[in-house]
Amino acid sequence: MTAILLIGNGAREHAIAEAIVRSNENPELFAYMKSNNPGIAGLCDDIQIGSYSDLDEIKAFAQSIVPDFAFIGPEDPLNKGVVDALESIGIPCVGPKKELAKLETSKSFTRLLMKKYDIKGNPKFRVFESMAGIKEFLAELDGSVIKPDGLTGGKGIRVQGDHYETDEDALKYCKEVLEKHPSVIIEEKLEGEEFSLQCFTDGVNVVDCPPVQDHKRAYVDDKGPNTGGMGSYSDSDHLLPFLKKEDVEDAHEITVKMAKAIKEETEELYKGVMYGGFIVTKNGVMLIEYNARLGDPEAMNVLTILKSDFVELCRGIINGNLDEYDIEFDNMATVCKYAVPEGYPINPVKNEKVSLSDVPKDTDVFYASVDKKEDGLYMTGSRAIAFVGIGSDIEEAQVKAENAVCSVKGKVFHREDIGTKELIQKRIDHIRELRG
């Protein structure tokens, strides 16, 4: 009997759990979670609640199961060395070791590796350990982006024009960053449309999921503060309406070269997910950043239409024969919309009840930051519940996701514009204008 240990407790992991239990192997599922996600718990034979820092507890839980392998969902446990800990007791993992998860956890590691191995897709950038030279470098750039070198949950990045205006402001923020982090990365501000290309790799072979576009800003029309992602869409032809096939091929090529560079640099195989955040610009496809895990919400767009066996895919990653695995997705469009607590992300309401009693049956529901109590479901302050509509085109999927997210009762809001014709047309026009 196949047994699998899943680590993580968000909507992304709920989607991963669904993909695991759908497998022809009929696996037993076990989850180690920071908080009790009722969606995941409902699919599991056993769960344990604990901290991702408690490597001994994670190992003890794993030893009580002896799973075929573990799948690590979020970046936090990867950064804490959960893979190193589990592999030390003979449990193979889908997810990179701590040293290799630097692909996500250290922005300088990734930029410098791309540069060293001459992989195209880097903007102009420099890494600074002190304030010396920052002023001069800022003067060379048309627009700048400032990134602390470390995991900041996406909240440490500042973009000129969005978060600050002048070079003076930039200098002030760099100083602040250097007080808390060993270094700061300054890079050229890129202009274009972003897309996520989530890839699975065994360290050599790289297989793509369909590209997805996420929506980071909290409010309609890309206004308001950045969030973990309010929703996302993918198209039935496995492209996006503003992307050309060559754009996705270029992004894939960058990821293949990066996997190779990591192997050469570290003498280790990167096993797991390489999720590139790319941007298509007037000069082609550039890399914004890599993540060492699936995206949240983007995982829900791709795993809901994955046709091939997910457990077999994981085995291919672990055994190094991903080239023999035929990854297949349904030719369907998907739209994911998150219901989030009022006030999110700055001052969210907490401990407020939500009811899903009226949710239509034609959408997939994934639980995120909710707590199941005896008298119902309560929100805990972060993104609460995700709804995925699937349709033959984006509009059909959008209508389903919108109807579902609107049916939630409680103090929640969502972005009505995700996946709508109007917003997608804006993306198309933006790229058309840039490409001239």
Q: Give min distance, CB of 219 to ligand AMP, in A.
A: 15
How many angstroms separate the CA atoms of 20 and 390, rounded?
Answer: 20
Contacts of 399-403 spanning 24+ positions with Cβ under 8 A: 400/335, 400/360, 400/362, 400/363, 401/231, 401/335, 401/336, 401/337, 401/363, 402/335, 402/337, 403/360, 403/363
- Write out the DSSP string of 129-150: SSSTTHHHHHHH-SSEEEEESS
Segment 130 to 149, residues that bind ligand AMP, using CB under 6 A: 145
Q: Assess whether the previous peptide bond of 345 is cis (omega < 30° from 0).
A: yes
- Write out the DSSP string of 360-379: -TTSEEEE-SEEEETTEEEE
Q: Give min distance, CB of 35 to ligand AMP, in A.
A: 22
Nearer to ligand GLY, 143 or 154 (CB): 154
How many angstroms separate the CA atoms of 113 and 393, rounded?
Answer: 39
Q: Assess whether the previous peptide bond of 297 is cis (omega < 30° from 0).
A: yes
Verify binding: residue 239, ligand AMP, rule CB under 6 A.
no
Indicate which of ligand AMP, ligand GLY, none lies near residue 284 (CB less than 5 to 8 Å, by partner kind): none
Among 50, 123, 150, 224, binds ligand AMP (CB under 6 A): 123
Nearer to ligand GLY, 28 or 298 (CB): 298
Nearer to ligand GLY, 160 or 291 (CB): 291
Indicate which of ligand AMP, ligand GLY, none lies near residue 194 (CB less than 5 to 8 Å, by partner kind): ligand AMP
Segment 261 to 320, residues that bind ligand GLY, using CB under 6 A: 291, 295-296, 298
Segment 204 to 243, residues that bind ligand GLY, using CB under 6 A: 214, 229
Nearer to ligand AMP, 112 or 159 (CB): 159
Q: Are 35 and 380 in contact (CB under 8 A)?
A: yes
Indicate which of ligand AMP, ligand GLY, none lies near residue 312 (CB less than 5 to 8 Å, by partner kind): none
Q: Give min distance, CB of 130 to ligand GLY, in A.
A: 29
Exposed e or buried b for every residue in 81-91, given b needs 16+ CB within 10 A? bbbbbbbeeeb
Verify binding: residue 289, ligand AMP, rule CB under 6 A.
yes
- Which residue type occupies 405? V
Contacts of residue 55, defined as CB under 8 A and 6 or more positions apart, other chains included, come to 80, 81, 82, 85
DSSP run (H or E) holding 175: helix 167-180
How many angstroms separate the CA atoms of 5 and 20, rounded?
Answer: 10
Indicate which of ligand AMP, ligand GLY, none lies near residue 398 (CB less than 5 to 8 Å, by partner kind): none
Nearer to ligand GLY, 155 or 432 (CB): 155
Segment 43 to 82, residues that bind ligand AMP, using CB under 6 A: none
Segment 189 to 228, residues that bind ligand AMP, using CB under 6 A: 189-190, 194, 216
Among 13, 75, 149, 187, binds ligand AMP (CB under 6 A): 187
User: Whose structure tokens read 């060293």?
Assistant: 116
Nearer to ligand AMP, 217 or 411 (CB): 217
Nearer to ligand GLY, 6 or 138 (CB): 6
Q: Give min distance, CB of 114 to ligand AMP, in A.
A: 13
Verify binding: residue 104, ligand GLY, rule CB under 6 A.
no
Nearer to ligand GLY, 67 or 148 (CB): 148
Nearer to ligand AMP, 157 or 349 (CB): 157
How many angstroms separate the CA atoms of 179 and 226, rounded?
Answer: 23
Indicate which of ligand AMP, ligand GLY, none lies near residue 229 (CB less than 5 to 8 Å, by partner kind): ligand GLY
Q: Give min distance, CB of 356 to ligand GLY, in A.
A: 23
Verify binding: residue 157, ligand AMP, rule CB under 6 A.
yes
Q: Are 231 and 415 in contact (CB under 8 A)?
A: yes
For residue 87, how many C-alpha atoms fall within 13 Å in the half-sphere facing its CB? 16
Q: Give min distance, CB of 283 to ligand AMP, in A.
A: 12
Q: Are 336 and 301 in contact (CB under 8 A)?
A: yes
Contacts of residue 275, defined as CB under 8 A and 6 or more positions apart, other chains included, come to 196, 197, 198, 199, 290, 291, 292, 293, 294, 295, 298
Distance of CA 358 to the CA centre of its chain: 29
Nearer to ligand GLY, 210 or 410 (CB): 210
Among 74, 231, 277, 316, binds ligand AMP (CB under 6 A): 277
Nearer to ligand GLY, 39 or 297 (CB): 297
Which residues form the interface with ligand AMP (CB under 6 A)? 123, 145, 154, 157, 159, 187, 189-190, 194, 216, 277, 288-289
Which residues form the interface with ligand GLY (CB under 6 A)? 214, 229, 291, 295-296, 298
